[in-house]
Chains A and B, each alone.
Chain A
Amino acid sequence: VVDVSDPTSRWPQATLDPLARLGLVEAAMPGSAATEAVIDAPFDRVWGYVADLERSVPEFDRLVRRIRIRSRRPADDNDDGGAETLDMQAWQVGVPAPMRFDVRLEPGLCLMRGWGRLYFVGMAARPEGDDRTRFRHVEGVPLPGARLLRPVFRRTTAGDMAGLIAALRAR
């Protein structure tokens, strides 16, 4: 007798990769823009570098002087994604006071909410074959009318992507 009601792993399970998840977050935020690229380095190397936000962000984002992680809460059992939650400060060039960010960091995905809830930064990566990595970088403002800011975010994300590729190449 076949037990067709057995809800175990024997039934095929579809999943969303980090780029797909970030793409959905973007879809809900009209005031956002993204840059995507395939980077000529394996996923572990790319993500290993990016996830060290205190070091990587000031290197690849020329508008950020310094990043400080104030606290770091490890993934708990209730969290399905195995994500860390970070309380982060970012000092931007020419701005004396830091901007506070709530960060959700998991393998291949980093979601950051800053400036109250008015500014969003997202990064997602997945392996593209063995030696390359598909990387997507998004910035946005989750407010009605923020559509007008899209050209700005298109420029800043493209600049960050170029910085990231250069930083990885220099290492």
Chain B
Amino acid sequence: VLVQDEEWEPLVRRARRGEPLAVDALIRRLAPDVGRICGAIALDAGDDAMQETFIAVLRALPGLREPAAVHGWVRRIAVREAVKVAQRARRTPPVDTDDPASPAPRPSPAVDVATALDVRAVLAALTPEHRAILVMRDLGGWSEHDVADALAIAPGTAKSRLSRARAEFVRRWST
């Protein structure tokens, strides 16, 4: 639920002026939420996604019209950056550095689920786009409208994507 929190305002104003302790306080306050979004969407690249998110946030902070709405604004940036980082990570699969001669054996998603039945393994089997929509709706409790807005897609598309993502999640989980 995106609640406009008046307490954010003084902190955002101080951070905007580049006050280092205020910048750090803002980051610390947003970190649990941003970490959850980036971790669930970008998985192993979650820490990178989190850093990219905050770089984007700090760059755009001076232009933020409503400081009180910073929380929802940052969450949207986190989703966008995490999807971007996750897509990039998919295109460049990790290489086994211990044995440069052979590419890293990537376990198939089905094997992952069978061997480690946890949320992470199930999430890893989904596309970044499906992870993003599950994180927003089912972990974050965002409204359909906010989800569609964050992903820049039509509400109807968000709805059908969510049902496909949920079905995929449950199917992978029960495999």
**Interface segment, one of A17-25, A51-59, A68-76, A160-168:** A17-25
Q: Identify which of B23-31, B63-71, B96-104 touches chain A.
A: B23-31
Say yes or no for B118: interface residue by CB 8 A criterion: yes
A10 pairs with B118, CB closer than 8 A: yes
Asked, given contacts A12-B43, A81-B28, whether A24 binds B18 with beta carbons under 8 Å apart, the answer is no
Interface residue range, chain B? 35 or more
B120 at the interface (CB under 8 A from A): yes
Do A5 and B17 touch across chains, with their CB atoms under 8 A apart?
no
Query: Number of A-B pairs whose CB atoms are under 8 Å?
Result: 111
Chain A contacts of B170 at CB under 8 A? 2
B141 to chain A, nearest CB (A): 7
Bound Cα distance from A16 to B57, whole angstroms = 15
Quote the shortest CB–CB distance from B1 to chain A (angstroms). 13
Q: Residue A80 contacts which of B32, B58, B169 (CB distance < 8 angstroms)? A: B32
Interface residues on A, range: 20 to 34
B interface residues (Cβ-Cβ under 8 A, vs A): 15, 17-21, 23-24, 27-28, 31-32, 34-36, 38-40, 42-43, 46-47, 49-51, 54-55, 58-59, 61, 118-120, 123, 134-135, 138-139, 141, 166, 169-170, 173-174
